[in-house]
Amino acid sequence: MAQTILNRIAAGQNSAVQECLDTYGGLVWSLARRMLPNAEEAEDAVQEIFIDVWKNAERFDETKASETTFVAMIARRRLIDWMRKGNRQPNTNSLEEIVVEPFESKDRDMQIFIEAKEAARAMKNLRPEQKQILHLSIIQGMSHQEIAERLSMPLGTVKTHARRGLMQVRENLDSENSGGSKGATV
């Protein structure tokens, strides 16, 4: 079973630090920009948040929360502290709505972004024909029949590749969310 990013940070793996920034940087930045009045303060807050994440990585327990939730809660606490330092009243209700899973309807865009990023990462391990068929179906909105005609493939083959590809994406997402890493393809 592969370790999560936070488990690897706690174990002292330097490569996990950059992976953490790449994976959660957008989330932390969007929270900071929403809660702080200017980009300069947000940049400073984001730095402090990631330092806090790294200092507390050993406290992460994947049986209690996802990594995303753990990082978001650290960001929430740090941003509230940051706002209090500036004698501004934190709007904790809206911040809680941002980080609570599932996200409230007004924060669906952020949730969709996070899920899309996770799905794209899960699709990297698919076979090329599965990727191509799912891309044509999901991104271009083509029907199975249209894909079969475009690729000169039997309709049954297209449906099989689509079904197996989706099953593999689901398995990859489940594996990622449980902390494991399955790279096998169907």
pLDDT tens digits, one per residue of 54-69: 899 999 888 888 888 8
Two tokens, residue 134: 């799912």
* Domain stops at, among 101, 135, 168: 101
Mean residue pLDDT of the chain comes to 78
Two tokens, residue 179: 């902390």
Two tokens, residue 144: 């199975």
* Dihedral-angle region of residue 179 (phi above 0 means left; psi in -120 to 50 means alpha; beta otherwise): left
* Domain stops at, among 101, 130, 152: 101
Domain CATH for 19: 1.10.1740.10
* pLDDT tens digit sequence for 133-186: 888 887 677 888 999 999 999 999 999 998 998 888 888 777 765 554 444 433
Which whole number is the average pLDDT over 3-21? 89
> Taking a C-beta distance cutoff of 8 angstroms, is the pair 151, 130 a contact?
no
Claim: this prediction has a pTM higher than 0.75: no
Please check whether residues 13 and 74 belong to one and the same domain: yes
